[in-house]
C-alpha cells in the first residue's frame, strides 16, 4: 500500500504491507520492556496523527512470560508527541503491544470501502482461478482456465467437470462434460496435432455458461481421467 506522505506530499510516499480489514486501518505492533515504575512508552511515527484518527485507535496488550495487568495509562492524542504509555508492569517485565488506527487521509476519506459488491461485468467469473483444482493422473494438463462454472448447472452436484483429450489423425480434441459418465457434453475445443510437438493450447468454444476457457496439454496419450473441481465456496 502506497500513501502520500502527509508532510511531503509531492516528494515522498509511505509504504505499508496490507492487512485485510473492512476498514482502512493501519496496524503496528511490537514488544517493550518496562522501567522501574512498571511503565513503557511506545513512540509512533511523527506523521501518525496526520494519517490516522487518534480518537479511533484500538489497543491490545499481552504480558510475556509473566502475568501483569497491563493497561494504557496515556493514549495517543492530538497535539502531543505521538507516544502512548503502558503501565501495570514491573521492572524488566515485557509487554507485547498492538494498535490499529482508522485512516483519515484524503484517499481513505474519498474512497470508502464497500465490503460486499456485485461483480458487474464479471458475473460468472471467479476472482482467483485456484478455487478450481484438477485431478490429472497422467500429468498432462500443465495449465488451465475455466470461467463461468456454476455448481449443479454446468457441473455435477459436487462441482466437478470431467475432461477428455484424444487424438484423431491430425486433430487433438478436448471435451468437457458435466457427468462422470462423460455423456453430457458441455464444451469442446481442438488443436492441430504435429508429431514434432508435445505442448498444445486448446481453447474451448463458449457455451453452457463457460466463457474464455482453455487447457494447455503436454500430450502423450489419449486421456479420459482428467477432472476439475470447484473448491470454493
Q: Residue 233: is the preceding peptide bond cis (ω within 30°)?
A: yes
pLDDT per residue over 168-217, tens digit each? 999 999 999 999 999 999 999 999 999 888 899 999 999 998 988 999 99
- Grid coordinates representing 203 are 481453447
Q: Domain residues for 124? A: 120-230
| CATH number where 30 lies | 2.60.40
Domain-embedded: residue 205: yes
pTM of the predicted model as reported, rounded to 2 decimal places: 0.55
Indicate if 158 and 103 belong to the same structural domain: no
Provide CB contacts within 8 A for 137, sequence distance 6+.
225
Indicate if 56 and 144 belong to the same structural domain: no
What is the overall mean pLDDT for the chain? 89
pLDDT confidence of residue 101: 93
- Model confidence at 124: pLDDT above 80: no
Given a contact cutoff of 8 angstroms between Cβ atoms, the answer to whether 38 and 93 are in contact is yes
Instruction: Find the mean pLDDT for residues 134-150.
Output: 90
Tell me the CA distances in angstroms from 80 to 15, 128, 168, one per residue in order. Answer: 24, 45, 78
1 DSSP β-pair partners? none
Amino acid at each position: 500500500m502506497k500513501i502520500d506522505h502527509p508532510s511531503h506530499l509531492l516528494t515522498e510516499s509511505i509504504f505499508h504491507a496490507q492487512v485485510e480489514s473492512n476498514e482502512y486501518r493501519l496496524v503496528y505492533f511490537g514488544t517493550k520492556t518496562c522501567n522501574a515504575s512498571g511503565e513503557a512508552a511506545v513512540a509512533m511515527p511523527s506523521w501518525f496523527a496526520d494519517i490516522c484518527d487518534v480518537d479511533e485507535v484500538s489497543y491490545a496488550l499481552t504480558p510475556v512470560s509473566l502475568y501483569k495487568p497491563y493497561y494504557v495509562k496515556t493514549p495517543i492524542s492530538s497535539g502531543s508527541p505521538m507516544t502512548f504509555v503502558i503501565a501495570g508492569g514491573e521492572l524488566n517485565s515485557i509487554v507485547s503491544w498492538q494498535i490499529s488506527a482508522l485512516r483519515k487521509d484524503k484517499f481513505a476519506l474519498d474512497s470508502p470501502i464497500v465490503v460486499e459488491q456485485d461483480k458487474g461485468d464479471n458475473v460468472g467469473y471467479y476472482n482467483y482461478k485456484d478455487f478450481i483444482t484438477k485431478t490429472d493422473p497422467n500429468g498432462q494438463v500443465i495449465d488451465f482456465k475455466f470461467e463461468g462454472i456454476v455448481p449443479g448447472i454446468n457441473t455435477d452436484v459436487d462441482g466437478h467437470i470431467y475432461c477428455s483429450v484424444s487424438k484423431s489423425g491430425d486433430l487433438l480434441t478436448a471435451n468437457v462434460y458435466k457427468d462422470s459418465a462423460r455423456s453430457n457434453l458441455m464444451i469442446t475445443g481442438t488443436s492441430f496435432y504435429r508429431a514434432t510437438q508435445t505442448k498444445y493450447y486448446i481453447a474451448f468454444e463458449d457455451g453452457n455458461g463457460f466463457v474464455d476457457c482453455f487447457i494447455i496439454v503436454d500430450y502423450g496419450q489419449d486421456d479420459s481421467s482428467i477432472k476439475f473441481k470447484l473448491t470454493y465456496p
